[in-house]
C-alpha cells in the first residue's frame, strides 16, 4: 500500500531517555486520523519526527515520497504543522495578515505563500476582518483560525494539528473543528489530529491511533476503538 506519510520502526531517544519505541504506521492521502494518548505518551515527539524537527535514532520516516531526515526541506514544503500554541506579545508589530502571508509554521521556519493561496485561505476561514489586527491581541480561537489559514495558504497535502483544542471555549472549538472537517472533505487534505482528550475526537475521524508510553498500542477504526469496554482505563490507566 502507498502511504502519504509513513513511519517504520521509529525510535527516538532524548537525553538518554527513550521517547518513541518502534513506532510504525501509515497515513493515506485524504485520511482524517486522530492520534490519541495521555500527556507524555510521545504524540508531539512523533509529530516532530514526521516533520524532521527531531531525528530518530533508528527507523524511517517518509512524507509525500521524501525521507523526512535526508530530504526534510522537500518533505516540509508539502505539509503544514499547527503547534499547540503560538504566543506573541500583544505589542509585537506583526498582524494576522502578516502571519498568513509569511506562512509562519512554528517549529521549522517560514515558507512564503502565493497570493492566490492566501486569498483562498482567508475566504475559507472567514478571517478577512482580522487581517489588520495585531496577532497578539486575538482570542485563542481567532489565533487558531489565522494559523490554519497560514497552513492552508501553503497549499499543503497534509496538515498536522497538535492539540488544537487547548485553551478554546466550546464555541471556538466547534467552529475550528468544522473548518478542519471542511478542508478535509472539500480539498482532500489529509488531517492528523493529535489530542489527549477522548471526548474531543472529530466526528469526521474514521481511524484512531492510540499511543501510550512511547508506543502504539492500538490502531483501529474510530468506531471499534470507542466501542471498546473501559476505553478510558485502557488509554489513561
**Hey, where are the domains in the chain?**
1-78+157-237, 88-155
Residue 226 cell numbers, joined: 470507542
CATH architecture assignment, domain 1-78+157-237: 3-Layer(aba) Sandwich (3.40)
Query: What pLDDT score does 237 carry?
Result: 73
- Tens digit of pLDDT for each residue in 79-135? 888 887 666 777 788 899 988 887 655 334 445 555 778 888 898 888 999 999 999
Tens-place pLDDT, residues 181-237: 999 999 999 999 999 988 888 899 999 999 999 999 999 999 999 888 777 787 877
Task: Of 39-43, 47-51, 71-75, 80-84, give the lowest mean pLDDT range.
Answer: 71-75
C-alpha 104/C-alpha 68 separation (Å) is: 19
Calpha distance 118→105 (Å, rounded): 14
CB 21 within 8 A of CB 214: yes
Position 108 scores a pLDDT of 44
What is the pTM (predicted TM-score) of this model? 0.88
Q: Give the C-alpha separation, 76 to 169, whole Å.
A: 31
| Model confidence pLDDT, tens digit, residues 24-46 | 999 999 999 999 999 999 999 99
**123-180 confidence digits (pLDDT tens):** 888 899 999 999 999 988 888 888 888 888 888 899 999 988 777 788 888 888 888 8
Calculate what percentage of the chain has a pLDDT beyond 70. 93
Give the pLDDT confidence score for residue 112 in this predicted structure. Answer: 53
d(CA 145, CA 178): 11
DSSP sequence for 77-111: HTEEEE-S-----TTSS-BHHHHHHHTB-TTS-B-
Supply the pLDDT for residue 42: 95
Question: Residue 77: pLDDT above 60?
Answer: yes
Mean pLDDT of the chain: 86
How does residue 71 score in pLDDT terms, banded at 50, 70 and 90?
Answer: confident
Amino acid at each position: 500500500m502507498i502511504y502519504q506519510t509513513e513511519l517504520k520502526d521509529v525510535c527516538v531517544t532524548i537525553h538518554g531517555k527513550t521517547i518513541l519505541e518502534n513506532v510504525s504506521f501509515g497515513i493515506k492521502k485524504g485520511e482524517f486520523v486522530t492520534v490519541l494518548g495521555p500527556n507524555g505518551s510521545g504524540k508531539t515527539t512523533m509529530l516532530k519526527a514526521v516533520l524532521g524537527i527531531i531525528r530518530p535514532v533508528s527507523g524511517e520516516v517518509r512524507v509525500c515520497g521524501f525521507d523526512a531526515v535526508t530530504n526534510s526541506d522537500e518533505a516540509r514544503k508539502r505539509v503544514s504543522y499547527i503547534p499547540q500554541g503560538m504566543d506573541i506579545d500583544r505589542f509585537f508589530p506583526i498582524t494576522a495578515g502578516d502571519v498568513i502571508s509569511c506562512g509562519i509554521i512554528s517549529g521549522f521556519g517560514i515558507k512564503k505563500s502565493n497570493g492566490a493561496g492566501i486569498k483562498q485561505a482567508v475566504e475559507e476561514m472567514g478571517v478577512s476582518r482580522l487581517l489588520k489586527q495585531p496577532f497578539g491581541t486575538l482570542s485563542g480561537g481567532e489565533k487558531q483560525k489565522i494559523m490554519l489559514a497560514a497552513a492552508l495558504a501553503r497549499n499543503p497535502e497534509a496538515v498536522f494539528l497538535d492539540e488544537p483544542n487547548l485553551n478554546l471555549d466550546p464555541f471556538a472549538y466547534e467552529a475550528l473543528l468544522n473548518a478542519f472537517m471542511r478542508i478535509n472533505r472539500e480539498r482532500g487534505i489529509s488531517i492528523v489530529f493529535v489530542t489527549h482528550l477522548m471526548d474531543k475526537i472529530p466526528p469526521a475521524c474514521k481511524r484512531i491511533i492510540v499511543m501510550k508510553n512511547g508506543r502504539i498500542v492500538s490502531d483501529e477504526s474510530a468506531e471499534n476503538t470507542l466501542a471498546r469496554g473501559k476505553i478510558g482505563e485502557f488509554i489513561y490507566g
